[in-house]
Amino acid sequence: MAIRNEKVNIPVDHEAIAGTFLAPDSKVPGVLFVHGWGGSQQSDLVRAKGVAGLGCVCLTFDLRGHERTLDQRKTVSRNDNLSDLLAAYDCLVAHPSIDTASIAVVGSSYGGYLSAILTTLRPVKWLALHVPALYRDTEWDVPKRSLDRDDIARYRRSPVSPDENRALSACASFEGDVLIVESEHDDFIPHQTIMNYRAAFIKSHSLTHRILDGADHALTGELSQAAYNDILLKWTTEMFIGARVGNNLHHWTADMGQQ
Distance, CA of 106 to CA of 127 (rounded, Å): 6
Range with lowest mean pLDDT among 20-24, 86-90, 97-101: 20-24
Task: Name the CATH superfamily, with its identifier, for domain 28-258.
Answer: Alpha/Beta hydrolase fold, catalytic domain (3.40.50.1820)
Domain ranges of the chain: 28-258
Range with lowest mean pLDDT among 4-13, 120-129, 170-179: 4-13
Mean predicted confidence (pLDDT) in 192-197: 98
* Nearest CA-CA partner of 202 in 235, 247, 170, 232: 170
Per-residue confidence band for 19, with pLDDT thresholds at 50, 70 and 90: confident
H-state helical runs in 95-221 = 110-118, 149-156, 166-173, 191-200
Distance, CA of 187 to CA of 190 (rounded, Å): 7
Q: Are strands 254-258 and 126-130 parallel, antiparallel or unpaired?
A: unpaired
Comparison of pLDDT for 32 and 13, the residue scoring more: 32
pLDDT at 9: 85
Quick check: 150 pLDDT over 60?
yes
* Nearest CA-CA partner of 182 in 237, 228, 225: 228
CB atoms within 10 A of CB 12: 8
pLDDT at 8: 79
pLDDT tens per residue across span 109-145: 999 999 999 999 999 999 999 999 999 999 999 999 9
Residue 167 DSSP code: H
pLDDT at 252: 43
Quick check: 180 pLDDT over 70?
yes
